[in-house]
Structure 1
Amino acid sequence: MNEDEVEVTRVVIMGAFGRDFHDFITVFRDDPSYRVVAFTQHGGQNLGETRDGGHDVFPAELAGPHHDADIPIEPESDLERVVDEYDADEVVFSYSDVSHEDVMHQASRAMASGANFRLLGPEDIEVEVDAPVLAVDAVRTGCGKSQLSRALAEELHDRGLEAVVVREPMPYAEDLAANAVQRFETFDDLDAADVTIEEREEYEQHIERGHVVYAGVDYPEIFERAAAEGDVVVWDGGNNELPFADPDLHFVLADPLRADDTDTSHPGETNLRRADAVVVNKENSASREQVTEVVARVHEANRDADVYHADSVVTVEDPEAIEGRDVLVVEDGPTLTHGDADYGAGTVAARKYNAAELLDPRDAAVGSIADVFENYPHLEHVLPAMGYSDEQIRELEQTIEGVDPDVVVAGTPHDLGEQVDVSAPIVRVRYRIDFHDTTPSDLLDRYADRLGL
């Protein structure tokens, strides 16, 4: 049977500008038995997360030999129409940090429209890499992945090894083809790429410690370049996403402050069941009962995983700047929004250093920032650091000015003061992982054989 006679399955990929493109490239792009006829875009795990309304198409330049035109990107809300209009045989679900129940609602929509529904497993999407891969993932977004990946990358550096970090995609750039592979070594690189606040939250903390960060769209190519440059590739996963490379060592973090989420989100439970080691983080902010519940859920899902215990320790350079002041806490956006957390490190720091009052920003919110509060009503005395466009950054500034705090306490991982211009002083919160029962050095010693150290 020649290529023209291959029976072709017509596929729609449901996504949120990240895992969906990776699934396409690794599974569907070069297989003549599939045609991806459309992507659908999630309506906004973070409101405003794409510039100018997002991408309308996935470019033909990246689509491979069997897709000779741009692939349209449609709203997820129109899934039924998309299945019918594009005569789709199969719908593939390709994004993260959603409840199991929500996944099955989407499955029901697809199947009711006449299409099969499919989830791709790790062995289909994980790239083989010519270097040891240390993966850090989580059961939900906001568990402290980057704290652990930073600590392990620094320990590798101290041992004379070059750790190159690969981040989950955040392809917010207007030209996807031109940003198929992104390499960031300096803050000037971030400025040149005009990255969003969310991207800075994930990249800055590695770059300031001297580690190169790769991201983009084409992860087979990204991992090839990272492996050529480093001794160990550190996958610093986003949300609760699966590793995009086959890990030699796989750490997964859990959050006792959201104990119910330990095994109820997709694909976080998959990460939990595949983990070599699970780190229960933030125990200094949790009750004994919450920690006990998380550990019980971990053992029930994965009895073979080693379990470690850790605190997330917050610090600021000038505690007196917070003490006795009325503060506005600005937190990492994704952790508060689709991560469903009520607060983050900024709130912990404000309480630790005796702020007089944590101000409520809701009445002062403008534009898309007001929309965030409308869509995430669990948020009260925190402001998510939304900044996916210049306009949204201006709205963030206007909201902060409208609150008129004595001090802004910035719990977001990047340097907020470099991105917003407000009259109140900004106190930057830093946080690190502090183990009860091990150290980063001991962890690398324990699993040295896995990484070929």
Structure 2
Amino acid sequence: PHIERGNVVFAGVDYEAIMHEVEKEADVLLWDGGNNDIPFYQTDLYITMADPHRPGHEMAYYPGEVNVRAADVVILNKCDTAKPEFVEQVRQNIMKLNPKASVILADSPMSADKPELIRGRRVLVVEDGPTLTHGEMGYGAGLLAARQYGAGEIIDPRPFAVGSLKDTFEKWAHLGPVLPAMGYSEKQCDELRQTIAASKAEAVVIGTPIDLGAVIEIGLPSTRIRYELEEKSGPTLTELLQPIIDKARKPVTSR
């Protein structure tokens, strides 16, 4: 989403060098560590996302638990699609780990750029591979959206999987009726393309963070799923971020 929205993005492995470059460009720096990182500098506001579709993960894995313990704010999102008891379980776990953190409950409303391709049709759902495999999710936003928009049939890709994708289904037995995009090397893209074509789907529902159509020629009608953040309760991000923005706007005076 950063690229699509025109945000300036810095990336690399020398975080000190990155910091110096960012300071030339911006007043406020957002470190986006994804789901497998912790910030490499001291933050003014530490925000952690928690997923109620995976209750207990916030206490069971590194760096997830570290991020919850260190957070100033924990956003418990996807409340609209997760089971209420899972939402409450994760909320209670957050308070046990970090009772001083502000907790924001939020929905994650989904949208499809071409919803007419889903309703009543036989669809194949492609999801983010790492989320499904070592992330231990049997499904992702693509499957939830396919059901939300009334797919006539969701095709199980297992009978059509080729190469390493066939191995993926054998190794990760918990996977639902979704096709994991495990990577984007030439070989992986070719296997993904072959599997999609063999499914004979009427449409492909893409739940990957990356625009899959920019990486491979899908060959079938496709629609991309996105989701946003809709705060429900607790302090708003605007309220929490405003002091940081105000501080950044103040001129630095020399002593």
- Contact kept in structure 2, 1:255 and 1:281, CA below 8 Å: yes
- Contact kept in structure 2, 1:407 and 1:426, CA below 8 Å: yes
- Contact kept in structure 2, 1:321 and 1:407, CA below 8 Å: yes
User: Which sits farther off after the overlay, 397-406 or 372-381?
Assistant: 372-381
Say whether residues 1:318 and 2:111 are aligned partners: no
**TM-score normalised by L of structure 1:** 0.53
Correspondent of 1:250 among 46, 63, 78: 46
For residue 330 of structure 1, give the secondary structure of its aligned residue in structure 2. Answer: strand
Matching residue of 2:193: 397
Say whether residues 1:274 and 2:70 are aligned partners: yes
Correspondent of 2:171 among 365, 375, 385: 375
Residue 286 of structure 1 and its aligned partner are, at CA, apart by 1.4
**CA–CA distance in 2 between the matches of 1:452 and 1:259?**
39
Name structure 2 gaps, 5 residues minimum. 251-255
- Contact kept in structure 2, 1:361 and 1:380, CA below 8 Å: no
Residue 451 of structure 1 and its aligned partner are, at CA, apart by 5.7
Letter paired with 1:227 = E
Correspondent of 1:331 among 114, 127, 151: 127
Structure 1 residues 379 and 450: alpha-carbon distance in aligned structure 2, compared to 1, 3 A threshold: farther
Matching residue of 1:442: 239
Letter paired with 2:240 = L
Letter paired with 1:445 = Q
- Contact kept in structure 1, 2:184 and 2:215, CA below 8 Å: no
Letter paired with 1:268 = G
Residue 372 of structure 1 and its aligned partner are, at CA, apart by 1.8
- Contact kept in structure 1, 2:193 and 2:217, CA below 8 Å: yes
Correspondent of 1:285 among 63, 81, 105: 81
- Contact kept in structure 2, 1:327 and 1:406, CA below 8 Å: yes
- Greater percentage in strand: 1
Written as runs of structure 1 = structure 2, the 5 A alignment for 1:104-115 is: none
Where has structure 1 moved over 3 Å in runs of 4 or more?
Answer: 446-453
For residue 399 of structure 1, give the secondary structure of its aligned residue in structure 2. Answer: helix
Written as runs of structure 1 = structure 2, the 5 A alignment for 1:293-304 is: 293-304=89-100
Structure 1 residues 325 and 424: alpha-carbon distance in aligned structure 2, compared to 1, 3 A threshold: same
Letter paired with 2:74 = V
Which protein is bigger by CA-based radius of gyration? Answer: 1
Matching residue of 2:28: 232
Structure 1 residues 276 and 452: alpha-carbon distance in aligned structure 2, compared to 1, 3 A threshold: farther
Correspondent of 2:57 among 261, 266, 272: 261
What do residues 252-301 of structure 1 show as CA deviations (whole Å, max 9, x unaligned)? 11111111212110121111111001110100011221111111101101
- Sequence identity of aligned pairs in percent? 48
For residue 409 of structure 1, give the secondary structure of its aligned residue in structure 2. Answer: strand
Correspondent of 1:360 among 140, 156, 170: 156
Matching residue of 1:184: none
Aligned length, in residue pairs = 249
**CA–CA distance in 1 between the matches of 2:127 and 2:227?**
13
**TM-score normalised by L of structure 2:** 0.92
For residue 292 of structure 1, give the secondary structure of its aligned residue in structure 2. Answer: helix
Written as runs of structure 1 = structure 2, the 5 A alignment for 1:97-136 is: none
For residue 231 of structure 1, give the secondary structure of its aligned residue in structure 2. Answer: coil
What do residues 99-139 of structure 1 show as CA deviations (whole Å, max 9, x unaligned)? xxxxxxxxxxxxxxxxxxxxxxxxxxxxxxxxxxxxxxxxx
**CA–CA distance in 1 between the matches of 2:53 and 2:91?**
12
Written as runs of structure 1 = structure 2, the 5 A alignment for 1:135-150 is: none
Residue 239 of structure 1 and its aligned partner are, at CA, apart by 1.9
Q: Which has the higher contact order (CA 8 A, sep 6+)?
A: 2
Structure 1 residues 446 and 342: alpha-carbon distance in aligned structure 2, compared to 1, 3 A threshold: farther
- Contact kept in structure 1, 2:46 and 2:73, CA below 8 Å: yes
Written as runs of structure 1 = structure 2, the 5 A alignment for 1:21-32 is: none
Written as runs of structure 1 = structure 2, the 5 A alignment for 1:141-220 is: 205-220=1-16
For residue 228 of structure 2, give the secondary structure of its aligned residue in structure 1. Answer: strand
What do residues 296-351 of structure 1 show as CA deviations (whole Å, max 9, x unaligned)? 10110101100000011110122221000111111122211211111111111101
- Contact kept in structure 2, 1:325 and 1:407, CA below 8 Å: yes
Matching residue of 1:340: 136
- Contact kept in structure 2, 1:387 and 1:396, CA below 8 Å: no
Matching residue of 1:406: 202
- Contact kept in structure 1, 2:139 and 2:176, CA below 8 Å: no
